[in-house]
Chains A and B, each alone.
Chain A
Amino acid sequence: MGGTPAGGVPVTGAPGRRPSPSPAGGPPRRPPTPQGSPVADRLGGAPRSAADAPTERVRARAVAPPVEPTQFAKPVFTGSLPPAAATRPPQRPAPPVRPRTIDAQTVVIPRVGEDRDAQNLHGVADADDEYDVGDEDAVAAREHPEDGIGRKAVRGIGELLITAGLVVLLFVVYEVYVTDLVSAGKQDDVTAALDDQWGANTVDGAQREAKYELIEGSAFAKIYIPVFGPDYKFSIVEGTTDADLEVGPGHYVGTALPGEPGNFAVAGHRVGKGSPFNDLDLLNSCDAVVVETQTGWFVYRVLPMEGEEQGWAEGRGRSEKCANVAPMKDPAQPGGGPYAQTVGQEIVSPKQGEVINPIPHYEGEVPVTQQASLLTLTTCHPRFSDKERLIIHATLVKQWEKNPDKPTETPPELEES
């Protein structure tokens, strides 16, 4: 196959090729010629010839194809050398290096015994070799990669892992943002329903009774926390199931109702689902939590924190906000009385349901009439975890009936900030 093209090469190749190797190689030593003389053997003649023989073969194989395209416009071989055939001819005149190497490969090399030259050429030939010999395979591999099972498996696992990471990220987005949107819609719905109900229930002039329609999942009151801003307002629904809490803060079934003696306990989400109780940890003692029902307003204030009780009356207790707020521990009684453990904020384990008892953490019997009216808010703690619960206790400091003649009247505590 190399015969015809090689014979035709001389037109361009011969001039450049012949001179270059002959000066370098000196006397053309044909490798296989066994000299027989011991000197020649000692000089490495025999090994060299042995080494040369394979390189020649390689070169011949490597060289023959690249030359062909230059000779024949579009012969059979163009397909085998897509990039080389296109780029080589124009380059040939400009850089003298390339043509020489090619030429040398075709004709001269067999005769050259020079090591340096041979190595140099060999390197070039090798480069060509890859192109030429593996050409069809390489092209095929590039277009239709046929990877082994191991490669495919590793890539598949990698893709799966990346996908899993993206899904987890998406879940965070869902939890923090998307649930907010869904919950905002539901909260709007129950608020609208509650407003309708309150508006329709107006009895003209007459004093309305404090009556609640407690339907699980439906709103029956509104909660305001003025320090969180004038727009902080949620409708409290009855029940604390997941579905209820998706709508808004939920009232623990069976606990006291707003204003009643006992413990009006409300749970709310901290992250996502409207995040009603996101900032509960920022509440300080004496901050107002206002609850509105159909018939009245109830102002609760956060109890003194643990550690603030000492010197409360002389210190923080003297501020205007803290009127009617005092530590519930009774120093006159041994152990502080039933309310000894009732403080403004506490962090408990999820199992400690006693925080929503009529008297938090107290199992004993106390007549209802002697119970304080408390408000308890529960949410998860720390943020993004449900390892613990953050609990806020507040006490009722003020309440009054709504005036049917002035339905838009609001308590001044709502203006606090």
Chain B
Amino acid sequence: MYEWIWRHLPGPLALRVVEALLLVAVVVTLLMFVVFPWAEPLLPFNNVTTE
């Protein structure tokens, strides 16, 4: 998977490294601000109220 992505990044090595870091940043941002906030209430970690 990662190898495939790396092979398909265009440009010379330095540019590829930048692109790879950019991809990682995009994925992390998506996780942090979209996926995790959505998933968190579904997980049994942080319910603090009584019923």
Contacts and interface: CB of A to CB of B under 8 A. Distances in A.
A175 B40 contact: yes
Nearest to B41: A242
B49 to A, nearest CB: 4
A153 to B, nearest CB: 11
Contact-residue size bin, chain B (C-beta under 8 Å from the other chain): 10 to 19
A271 B48 CA distance: 10
Contact of B51 (A159, A160, A270, A350): A350
B46 A270 contact: yes
B31 A386 contact: no
Interface stretch (A31-39, A198-206, A214-222, A377-385): A377-385
Interface stretch (A21-29, A40-48, A351-359, A398-406): A351-359
Contacts of A380: 45-48
A273 interface: yes
Interface of A: 156, 159-160, 167, 170-171, 174-175, 178, 240, 242, 245, 250, 252, 267-273, 277, 348, 350-353, 355-356, 378-380, 384-387, 389, 391
A353 B32 CA distance: 33
Given A156-B1, A167-B31, A174-B31, A245 B48 contact: yes
Contacts of B31: 167, 170-171, 174
Contacts of B32: 170, 174, 178
Contacts of A348: 50
B27 to A, nearest CB: 9
Nearest to A162: B2
Interface in B1-51: 1-2, 28, 31-32, 36, 39-41, 44-51
A115 B2 CA distance: 51
B48 A159 contact: no
Interface centre among B2, B45, B48, B49 (most CB of A within 10 A): B48
A378 B48 contact: yes
8 contacts: A171-B39, A174-B31, A178-B32, A242-B41, A245-B48, A355-B50, A378-B48, A387-B44
Given A174-B31, A178-B32, A378 B45 contact: no
A378 B44 contact: no
A159 B32 CA distance: 21
A167 B28 CA distance: 9
Contacts of B28: 170
B46 A271 contact: yes
Contacts of B1: 156, 159-160
B46 to A, nearest CB: 6
Give 8 nearest A-B pairs by CB, closest first.
Answer: A386-B47, A267-B49, A353-B50, A174-B36, A379-B48, A240-B49, A380-B48, A159-B1
Given A156-B1, A171-B39, A378-B49, 15 more contacts: A174-B32, A175-B36, A175-B40, A175-B45, A245-B49, A269-B46, A271-B46, A273-B46, A351-B51, A355-B50, A378-B50, A380-B45, A389-B48, A389-B50, A391-B50
Nearest to B51: A353
A144 B4 CA distance: 12
Contact of B45 (A353, A355, A384): A384
A277 B48 contact: yes
A378 B45 CA distance: 15
A178 B1 CA distance: 28
B2 A271 contact: no
Contacts of B45: 175, 271, 380, 384-386
Nearest to A170: B31
Contacts of A353: 50-51
Contacts of B48: 245, 267-270, 277, 378-380, 386, 389
Contact of A171 (B36, B44, B49, B50): B36
B3 to A, nearest CB: 8
